[in-house]
Amino acid sequence: MLSTNEIREIEAEAAHYPTRQAICIDAMRIVQRHRGWISDESLHDIAAHLGMSVTDLDSVATFYNLIFRKPVGRHVIMVCDSVSCWIMGYDRVREHLCKQLGIRLGETTPDNRFTLLPIVCLGCCDRAPAMMVDNDLHNDLDPQKIDRALETYR
């Protein structure tokens, strides 16, 4: 069941859109902000609230990699695997992150502090390699910068 706050926020956004289906991404982001991820139950509730089929909403949810369909850690690290980041050292960045966190891409640390996910592009190709932790962009990465960045989220 969607909370009163979630419904109020969804309806406030809906006023800016021509159809209820057009707000589906924002609605999922609102619920995700409150709950951390979009469970099957949440997906059903959002779909019902917007008058959409669960299948249609799930197809949107699984297309956008910023909608989390399983629980994530308190901090989500998105490591950019664009062509620019590949050229500038993505492999080294990914390996260092995996080693420091003790997890692989797609996993969450045992203490639920970090989830490590790939992302197609963070839009800062001139400062590659890059990662985003929550809403903070970190670029021109090397192992020392990664370690300093991770320390700020501990």
**pLDDT digit string, tens, across residues 35-57:** 999 999 999 999 999 999 999 99
Region 96-101: mean pLDDT is: 98
Query: Which pLDDT score, from 0 to 100, does residue 87 have?
Result: 96
Indicate the helix (H) or strand (E) that contains 117. strand 114-119
**pLDDT over 90 at 65, yes or no:** no
User: Region 90-100: what's the mean pLDDT?
Assistant: 97
pLDDT at position 136, please? 97
What was the pLDDT predicted at 154? 80
The reported pLDDT for the residue numbered 149 is: 96
3-state secondary structure of 10: helix
